[in-house]
Structure 1
Amino acid sequence: MSETLQILKKYWNHDSFRMPQEEIIDSVLGGQDTFALMPTGGGKSICFQIPGMIKEGICLVISPLVALMKDQVANLQKRNIKAIALTGGIKTDELIDLLDNCQFGNYKFLYLSPERLQSDWILERIKNLPVNLIAIDEAHCISQWGHDFRPAYLKISNLKTHFPKIPFLALTATATPKVKEDIIKELGLENPKCFEKSFERKNIAYMVFEIEDKLFRIKQILSKNPQPSIIYVRNRRACIDTAEQLNSLGFKATYYHGGLSTKDKNNNMQLWMEEKALVMVATNAFGMGIDKANVKTVIHIQLPENLENYYQEAGRAGRNEEKAFAVLLTNPSDVAQTENQFIYTLPDKQFLKEVFIKMCNYFQIAYGEGINEQYSFNLNQFCNRYKFPVLKTYNAIQFLDRQGVISLSQEFSEKITLQFVIPSKEVIRYMSLNPNNEEILLAILRTYPGIYDMQTNFNLPLIARKSKHSETEVQNVLEKLKEKGIVDYHSKNNDTTLVFNEIREDERTINRIAKYLENQNQLKKEQFEAVLNYIRKDKVCKSKLILDYFGEKKEANCGICSYCITQKKKKETQVSLSDEILSLLKNADLNSREIQIKLNNPSDDVIFALQELLENQSILIKPNNKYSLKQ
């Protein structure tokens, strides 16, 4: 058994690679710059994790997604593989410690965002690390024609000057031919070996249905295919409402969105993974790191903003290679709604500048200051204060995030503050009367000695760990103490954390990034047109439309999409109609109008069937324009 297979078996418990994982790994191990286009579910991370394990030193992984970095680091750590992520909001002292660990602690993987590489002192530290491979995940972010362009990616090629003999591995799940060209050029890949797995998913039936009552159609689909399913919706409210409606109809459904606490996310995910709930209703926050092979159906009940996202989300169906369904339900009002959400809410330069300046004022950041400062942020409160439209403001903030001006974390956090309001001797007395709460109270008092004097920020997971209790048990004790007037306890939810990655410079900051804004807005409009093209072209195989978008040409229809099924039914109807015509002509010669009246079929269908019968020489037409069986 090869060393690569041994590591795959030992750490991932798989006996073989998927195509073309092994070839990509061999290319990287041979020191070759490599480009890999592998559609979602293809197992991209294995392609750098195994060579990173085999080679001496540390693998540098550049990724734009905090959640994905954390997920991959957690999965590696579970396998006893040493990995670290330099995510936003980490203080400088802590960063220094983490980089020391990388240098002296025998770590195998260092994950960081491209924006981190723009910090000179971090780059200096990385230059001194024994880097064995540089993996660039979500590599399409380097292209202005990609759906997630981030200018910081353009600086990654500078690593070539510091690590001239170290191979680059560029990975992406969605890239058009133009984007692929950009990736290779902008990363400075030298004679790269290119591996492109076809975007074709032969086992997925792409279905588009124009329907008024979407819930009724969902009920039909789930009843016909009672296996694990995902239903993608546009917002958090729709998540909860749809899940409730499905539960009331007898389906076991749960939901997932960015505003749930980590605990609720994990609980709901577990219900679905263990199939205690077969249906997951989710926003696009759901999907990263999801590895459930037997998803039978993925249903979108609103139009996606682009085909890249749609393909990735739909591709979570049928990873076990069995037949699966990707269903898009639409009605005439959807186009206007989607335009209102994705097109008419695109910010222009003036609005972007106004949001940025107001945000700096909101957090009282002075001109020339603010770098590495972290703040809890509530979007709705911010928009209420300045009378900004919420969606347009969110798009502006997200654009600032993608340009690296700020880092936006949409992870739910719960801020708790606590103060004891009775004397310490009374607390001791309470503990003696309530011994079940003693471990939790002692952990709090030992961790926060000043908790009698002031409101103190409270770390719930830390106290749970120290007291050897669950977070729920700690919260229950806090609630009880609050009821009895022993503590002043406040819990406040913040759905976003913001980190400022550079100093405040207002005009200069916005002028620098505004050139990308116009390109992005134009690209988003073109991508949405491609979505409309996908739903409106009802005389073309849906699988072919998707393949064509990603630059793949295919002659044959898939045979299983909504268009192909319609054609199949038409053919069956025509065969049946032809048989009926032949049966009529056994009794007498008839013209086309007489045949149509007797069979009560549309004239077009009758004429088409007659032409087919003539071509097959099953019938003939006489001089009096009557059809007769061929003798």
Structure 2
Amino acid sequence: MPTAVEILKNYWNHDRFRDLQQDIIDAAMDKRDTFALLPTGGGKSICFQVPALMQDGLCLVISPLVALMKDQVANLQKRNIKAIALTGGLRTEEVSDLLDNCQFGNYKFLYLSPERLQSDWIIERLKSLSINLIAIDEAHCVSQWGHDFRPAYLKIANLRNHFNKVPFMALTASATPKVQQDIISGLGMKEVSVFQKSFERKNIAYMVFETEDKLHRITQILKKNPEPSIIYVRNRKSCHDMSSQLQSLGFSATYYHGGLPAAEKSRNMQSWMEEKAQVIVATNAFGMGIDKGNVKNVIHVQLPENIESYYQEAGRAGRNEEKAFAVLLYHRSDTTQARSQFISVLPDKEFLTRVFVKLCNYLRIAYGEGIDERFGFNLNHFCTQYDFPVLKTYNALQFLDRQGVVSLSQEFSEKVSVQFLADSREVLRYTSLNPQDEPVILTILRNYSGIYDAPCALNLSLVSKKSGSPEDQILTVLKKLQERGLIDYKARSNDATLVFNEIREDEKTINRLSKYLEMQNRQKKDQLQSVLDYVTDDDTCRQRLILRYFGEDKIQDCGICSFCIGKNRKPVRASRVSVATEIHDLLQTQSLNSREIQNHIKHPPDDVIFALRQLLDHDIIRIGTDNRYSIRKT
């Protein structure tokens, strides 16, 4: 049997493990239940992949995210390791065929969602597999106190009835002490070996800056530290806007969000990975599977939803152990915006019921039907038709996704339908005149035999693979054929794909989930308050605040965060009273924005912001709709 280090060297080309990885692997090889809390970048997947490869049989990996499953399977396949994922939307016969492959094809990893375990026939098929380890990824989903609780995770413990000698390994990157105990209990883990790496990242300087001109502060940061950077923004529009603004200021920038076509996502990601672009502006859809060691800055332009997600996103900086910066920029108005974004848009039971019933009507699903059906779905069209607020509706659908009622894929898709109108002689004549288009046309004709008789829905990824042509090139060829009258071609874009995992039962479904909805809403309010406490606490080291949230007590300050640096500078600062006086005198003759004020009086930005806040609070100055300050007239 190969050793763990030999496996690591052979497949990953590393000579040694990171902290705790070897200990976790040893525990799994000793057939012990294992709980591994390794913060972002700690190498969780290696902990179950290596022991699975060291022994005969297959590792069952339970994961809540389709994109994460696809990413890990793709990475394993690149290393010539056989892996399969049972993602949503597969027909029963397709799932059965994949399980046959696992049983007879010498596969080493089977990835599936916890919702799959609710099907008795799936369990029966799993019982016929030689499973050597059961890994539960994103294990915080087990806990009702976690930031992404999914009731389906509670069903995982039932696997004990069938695999009582197979060790469980629970892995997560973020869990408070309360959540840790909940995970161990919820999975029925016995005599569990717990491995926990500290949440402390000594090389990351956590910086919180209150500023009204966020773009100006970003440009200062990027000029001071011109290495690879990530900027997290709230929505897709902000991705494009911020990227364009940075490009106009001379920075090389690209963008990434869930609504981009797969080819554009890959192209933009590669541009940043290869450092053709210094900055990638992204929503929280970006980051999974990203392992770029030299990220210098991770900048959040808006307040995050919770400390857990902020810690994970900020932790993408400095993985090479060199000093890096996690910067959170905020303005006092951000508090109101965050409550509006995260709290006021939470669906209650009545709204969730309305959305679910209308969704079923919209997709024409009859009562008692719908299971395993797949639909293209445009959120904006749905909300317009039923006069629903978009964000609140999106949160309702996300809740239904987490509870396993539906599977919501937010990947951009283009549904293409084609029928050939011209006879075969005309098509052959076209290919002889346009030989560069021949591989695409022949691939379509060979794989869709009825395409002359009726419109056929094309699988673009299949055509791309078999013809060796990129998807955007395939679409170009189809448009040319349509322009010449050779085909009838229709393309319809969807924001998402919806798969129903249950039959339609309306109120019965929602009543079953209502207690989880109430719990989720209460949890989200508490989590946002923790974020607000983090940004407004001016008396504590930022690193210590994060560690305290995750249950770690640290007496010593980090020395490099914005609080620690500010504390060290305080003795040499000018009196903040004198700063306020200078600002007051300056505004006597003209109205100015915060950047202009900063340029005139040359004091540290924190002192300027503090003085402006004091002058506003005492009604000495006012701020106009153009963000310019002026003396308040009495």
Structure 2 residue ranges without an equivalent (≥5): 575-602, 604-634
Following TM superposition, by how much is the alpha carbon of 1:112 offset from its aligned partner in structure 2, in angstroms? 0.4
Q: How does 1:316-395 map to 2 (within 5 A)?
A: 316-395=316-395
2:250 matched residue in structure 1: 250
Cα offsets for 1:262-302 (capped at 9, x unmatched): 11111011000000001010000001000000000000000
Q: Deviations over 1:14-43 (max 9, x none)?
A: 111000111000011111111111101000
| Amino acid aligned to 2:81 | I
User: What CA distance in whole angstroms lies between the structure 1 residues aligned with 2:384 and 2:573?
Assistant: 59
1:473: Cα distance to partner?
3.0
1:168 correspondence with 2:168: yes
Q: Which residue number corresponds to residue 63 of structure 1? A: 63
Which is worse superposed, 424-433 or 15-24? Answer: 424-433
Question: Counterpart of 1:591?
Answer: none
Q: 2:432 & 2:65 partners in 1: Cα distance? A: 48
Worse-superposed segment, 419-428 or 243-252: 419-428
Match of 2:221 in 1: 221
| Contact 2:77–2:83, Cα closer than 8 Å, also in 1 | yes
State the partner residue of 1:111. Answer: 111
Letter in 2 for 1:97: D
In structure 1, C-alpha distance between the alignment counterparts of 2:5 and 2:435, rounded to whole Å: 54
Question: Is 2:146 the partner of 1:146?
Answer: yes
Deviates more, 1:559-568 or 1:410-419: 410-419
Identical residues among aligned pairs (%): 68
Amino acid paired to 2:287: G
Deviation at 1:475, TM superposition (A): 2.4
CA displacement at 1:443 relative to structure 2? 2.0
CA distance in structure 2 between the partners assigned to 1:467 and 1:184 by the alignment: 49
Q: How much has 1:463 moved relative to structure 2?
A: 2.3
Deviation at 1:2? 7.3
What's 1:315 paired with?
Answer: 315
- 1:573 deviates by 5.4
Aligned equivalents of 1:437 and 1:58: distance in 2? 43
Match of 1:455 in 2: 455
Counterpart of 1:219 in 2: which secondary structure?
A: helix
| TM-score (norm. length: structure 2) | 0.89
Describe the superposition over 1:180-205 as per-residue Cα deviations: whole angstroms up to 9, x where unpaired.
01001110110101011000000000
What is the match of residue 5 of structure 1? 5
- Please name the residue that 1:299 is paired with: 299
Q: Residue in 1 aligned with 2:422?
A: 422
Displacement of 1:252 in angstroms is 0.4
Q: Is residue 416–residue 457 contact of structure 2 (8 Å, CA) maintained in 1? A: yes
For residue 437 of structure 1, what is the aligned residue in structure 2?
437
Partner letter of residue 361 of structure 2?
N
- For 1:565, the aligned partner's letter is I
Q: Contact between 2:41 and 2:315, CA under 8 Å: does it hold in 1? A: yes
* Alignment partner, residue 541 of structure 1: 541
The aligned counterpart of 2:91 is 91
Task: Give ranges in structure 1 of 5+ residues lacking alignment.
Answer: 575-600, 602-631
Instruction: Give the structure 2 partner of residue 612 of structure 1.
Output: none
1:261 maps to 261
SS in 2 for 1:175: coil
Q: 1:89 to 1:502 in 2, by over 3 A?
A: same
Q: Partners in 2 of 1:59 and 1:322 — Cα distance?
A: 35
Match of 1:157 in 2: 157
Distance 2:433 2:170 in 1: 62
The 3-state SS of whatever aligns with 1:327 is: strand
CA-to-aligned-CA distance 1:422-451 (integer Å, 9 cap, x gap): 233222222333333333222222222322
Q: Which residue of 1 aligns with 2:501?
A: 501
**Take 1:328 and 1:573, find their aligned partners in 2: how far apart are those partners?**
23
CA displacement, residues 539-585 of structure 1 (integer Å, 9 cap, x when unaligned): 110101000000000000000000000011124559xxxxxxxxxxx
Aligned residue pairs, count = 575
Q: Which residue of 1 aligns with 2:555?
A: 555
* Counterpart residue identity of residue 220, structure 1: Q
| Alignment partner, residue 100 of structure 1 | 100
- Once the two structures are TM-superposed, the CA of residue 309 in structure 1 deviates from its matched residue by 0.4
**C-alpha separation between the residues in 1 aligned to 2:538 and 2:394?**
34
What are the superposed Cα offsets for residues 455-507 of structure 1, whole Å, 9 maximum, x if unpaired? Answer: 22122232233333333332222222222222222222112111111111111
The CA deviation at 1:70 is 0.4
Deviations 1:24-71 (A, max 9, x none): 000111111111111010000000000010121000000001100000
Q: Within 2, Cα distance between the matches of 1:470 and 1:505?
A: 42
SS in 2 for 1:375: strand
3-state DSSP class of the match of 2:408?
strand
Tell me what 1:398 maps to.
Answer: 398
Q: Using the alignment, how far apart are the partners of 1:436 and 1:199 within structure 2? A: 55
In structure 2, distance between residues paired with 1:266 and 1:86? 23
1:584 corresponds in structure 2 to: none
Which amino acid in 2 is paired with 1:423?
A: D
Q: Give the letter for the 1:333 counterpart.
A: S
CA distance in 1, matches of 2:174, 2:49: 20
**Aligned residue identity for 2:488:** D
Amino acid at match of 2:151: P
- Rounded to whole Å, the distance in 2 between the matches of 1:199 and 1:233 is 24
3-state secondary structure, aligned to 2:334: helix
Query: Once superposed, what is the RMSD of the aligned Cα atoms?
Result: 1.4
**SS, match of residue 205 in structure 2:** strand
1: CA distance, partners of 2:270 / 2:256: 11
For residues 196-215 of structure 1, the aligned pairs below 5 Å read 196-215=196-215
Residue 411 of structure 1 deviates from its aligned partner by 1.4
TM-score normalised per structure 1: 0.89
Question: What residue number does 2:284 align with?
Answer: 284
Contact 2:236–2:257 (Cα < 8 Å) also in 1: yes
CA distance in 2, matches of 1:206, 1:86: 39
Report which stretch shifted further, 421-430 or 121-130. Answer: 421-430
CA distance in 2, matches of 1:361, 1:470: 37
Report what 2:625 is aligned to. none
